[in-house]
């Protein structure tokens, strides 16, 4: 029975990984500002939550009918009908066995929502009551979607609506919230002793954030240009050959990173993880050097098609990574050339007028 969920599992993993990549930047920004570090456990939790959220969709709504010529699914509005189904199936098989399809269906409905209860406790620090309520709500949304043929997209339901699924899914969310309690402390992340520490991991995550920003902006530019060409100017040819035209899709990301470094002194990725270079004299010149020997050079080498660019890109990336690790302040190659050590951006201080504790000098003397 579980073999039919193979395509749904593949879709959940593929789209879940994409969702985790999209969510990585905001998660990293929040973690480094609150705790000063991003653990592998946090990344695993992000990946698991993203894949699970996609699994709720793929396991309950996929596969969809390829044509509108299909038999409409029925429904069950009688609670605990699964008990009779299990008993009937066991009678035909000569006794209750673990491979009973009706029993496996019930167990799967419970297991499917157990991660939901666990994630609610781990990510939002909410208990069993909230997990049970959200489990019922999400299960109801899924079942109504199935009952209405994806809210009218299809002429009738193509998946079986079962009121027992609501109760089993809700039970699963409750059990998941309770089962994760002994392990909840492993996922609790306390504030680091020094949030203002520049670590190699923090610098590498910042570099990875820059790569994600460049990738998504460039991909958006390519898709937009191709869409405009396809629907508005179908007679035009594809991008002409040449270095200039190869760099055109990279222009939005190039402009964003350049202006960010020029105005703020740091790249988008460094801003995401809360880092800021320490500038000395001639700050404008240092910023230009930082961009030209860092993220700017990376973008040019990664987009220009030539037999020399790929080896140069590999050497440049490896040298930058090694220097991030070995330099005392993890400033990296661009920091060494521009003479800009790396520090942590100071958090905004609260307004003194709003402080509940007045300064000691303002206290009344006896």
Whole-prediction pTM: 0.77
pLDDT band at 244 (very low <50, low <70, confident <90, very high): low
Residue 246 has a pLDDT of: 60
Q: So where are the chain's domains?
A: 1-63, 68-189, 200-344
Mean per-residue pLDDT of the chain: 83
pLDDT at 238 over 80: no
Q: How far from 148 is each of 18, 74, 158, 362, CA to CA, in Å?
A: 29, 11, 9, 67
Q: Which residue has the tokens 């029993």?
A: 103
Q: What is the pLDDT of residues 54-83, one digit of tens each?
A: 999 888 888 788 777 888 888 888 888 888
């Amino acid at each position: 029975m579980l073999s039919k969920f193979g395509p749904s599992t593949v879709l959940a993993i593929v789209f879940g990984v994409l969702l985790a990549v999209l969510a990585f930047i905001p998660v990293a920004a929040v973690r480094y500002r609150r705790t000063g570090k991003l653990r592998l456990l946090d990344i695993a939790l992000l990946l698991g939550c993203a894949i699970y959220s996609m699994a709720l969709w793929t396991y309950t709504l996929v596969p969809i009918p390829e044509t509108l010529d299909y038999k409409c699914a029925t429904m069950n509005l009688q609670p605990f009908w699964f008990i009779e189904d299990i008993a009937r199936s066991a009678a035909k098989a000569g006794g209750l066995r673990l491979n009973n399809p009706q029993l496996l269906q019930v167990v799967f409905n419970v297991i499917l929502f157990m991660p939901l209860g666990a994630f609610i406790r781990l990510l939002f620090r909410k208990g069993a009551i909230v997990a049970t309520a959200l489990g019922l709500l999400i299960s109801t949304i899924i079942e109504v979607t199935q009952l209405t043929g994806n809210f009218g997209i299809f002429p009738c339901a193509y998946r079986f609506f079962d009121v027992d699924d609501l109760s089993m899914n809700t039970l699963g969310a409750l059990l998941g919230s309770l089962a994760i309690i002994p392990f909840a402390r492993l996922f609790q992340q306390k504030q680091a002793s020094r949030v203002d520490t520049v670590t190699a991991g923090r610098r590498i995550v910042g570099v990875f954030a820059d790569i994600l920003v460049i990738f998504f902006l460039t991909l958006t530019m390519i898709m937009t240009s191709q869409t405009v060409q396809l629907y508005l100017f179908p007679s035009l040819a594809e991008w002409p050959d040449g270095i200039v035209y190869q760099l055109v899709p990279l222009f939005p990301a190039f402009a964003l990173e350049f202006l960010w470094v020029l105005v703020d002194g740091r790249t988008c990725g460094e801003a995401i993880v809360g880092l800021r270079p320490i500038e000395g004299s001639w700050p404008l010149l240092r910023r230009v050097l930082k961009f030209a020997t860092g993220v700017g050079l990376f973008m040019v080498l990664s987009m220009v098609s030539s037999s020399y660019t790929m080896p140069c890109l590999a050497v440049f990336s490896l040298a930058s990574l090694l220097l991030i690790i070995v330099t005392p302040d993890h400033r990296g190659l661009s920091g060494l050339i521009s003479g800009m050590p790396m520090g942590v951006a100071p958090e905004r201080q609260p307004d003194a007028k709003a402080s509940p504790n007045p300064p000691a000098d303002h206290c009344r003397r006896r």
